[in-house]
Amino acid sequence: MTSLGRVAILGTGQIGTMVGMALRAAPGPGVDEVAAWDRDSAAMDACLRRAGADRLLGGPEEALESDLIILATPVAQIVGLTRELGPRLRASQVLIDTGSSKLEVVRAMQQCVPEGAGAVGGHPLCGGSEPGPWSADPALLKGATFVLCRVRDDPLSRGTAGLLVGMLGSTVLELDASEHDRLVARSSHLPHLVAAAVAEMSCALPTSALFSSGLRGAVRLARSDPAMVASFVCANLEEVRAATRELGLQLERLLAAAASGEEYLAPELEAARLRALEVGVS
């Protein structure tokens, strides 16, 4: 397999638009066309103007004319579109998504996509904190991890998803959907909620003169698209809850060390610093 054929992208926010831009800019005969749709017509027009699509679709069902359908909406809509379009997929057509919570999506795909057609859960780990098609930067896909969660073990899905990820310049990481959700709750979903909580707490500051660079960094993730974050948090609520409890225990541990004295807290912070450096340079 050397071409994705006709591609449809449903959802032209930051991720959908950057995927379209990357596919259209990919060298070789990898894509026949990229068609796009979003229920927000302004976002759809912006995707076209950013060269994220060759043409726009009149509605999501027109994606059924394509060989590969990429769902890049918030998670709840991904599940809804999977239920709507999945049963109508023909043999050789493939459905993939880019949502940040995977178990609900993969289950919907298992239930709705007929044997013969392909389906795979996907999650590109990239994106800046500013939402929307105007923030789409296809360079962020280069070298990024693109998690793939198997729906069924079929060569069609595997080949198509591998080709797509390769054309984006990303690297495949295969994970079980529930394992993905457990890990991403800790690495991403909880940090999004914490940034929002710290932003809310900052409302108690009486003057913007107290906004430090540390605070700016701590609230940066809260600048993400609220609909997108709400959707993946709600789709992964039990794991996010468990991660929140773990954060509480870690903070209790650090406060207990602080109560014992600086000489107890500093080694804990040094361990965290070394880990933060590992995360930062990767």
Which residues, numbered 85-144, are part of the site for a second copy (CB under 8 A)? 125-129, 140
Choose one: 20-28, 43-51, 150-158, 196-204; the region binding a second copy (CB under 8 A).
Answer: 196-204
Q: Are 13 and 36 in contact (CB under 8 A)?
A: no
Is residue 266 at the binding interface for a second copy, with CB under 8 A as the rule?
yes
DSSP one-letter code for 74: -
Site residues for a second copy, 232-251, by CB under 8 A, read 233-234, 237, 240-241, 243-244, 246-248, 250-251
Instruction: State the minimum distance, in angstroms, from the CB of residue 237 to a second copy.
Output: 5
Structure tokens at 33: 């066309």
**Separation between Cα atoms, residue 45 and residue 36, nearest integer Å:** 10
Choose between 42 and 271: whose C-beta lies nearer to a second copy: 271
Site residues for a second copy, 176-195, by CB under 8 A, read 183-184, 186-188, 190-195
Residue 188's nearest CA partner among 129, 136, 135, 109 is 129
**Separation between Cα atoms, residue 241 and residue 182, nearest integer Å:** 11
Distances (CA, A) of 132 to 15, 72, 253, 261: 8, 12, 39, 46
Structure tokens at 254: 């650090």
Is residue 78 at the binding interface for a second copy, with CB under 8 A as the rule?
no
User: How many of the chain's residues bind a second copy (CB under 8 A)?
Assistant: 90
Tell which one of 40, 76, 81, 156 touches a second copy (CB under 8 A).
Answer: 76
**Mask: binding to a second copy, 9-48, rule CB under 8 A, as x and -?**
----------------------------------------
Is residue 59 at the binding interface for a second copy, with CB under 8 A as the rule?
no
How many CA atoms, within 13 angstroms, populate the side-chain half-sphere of residue 66? 31
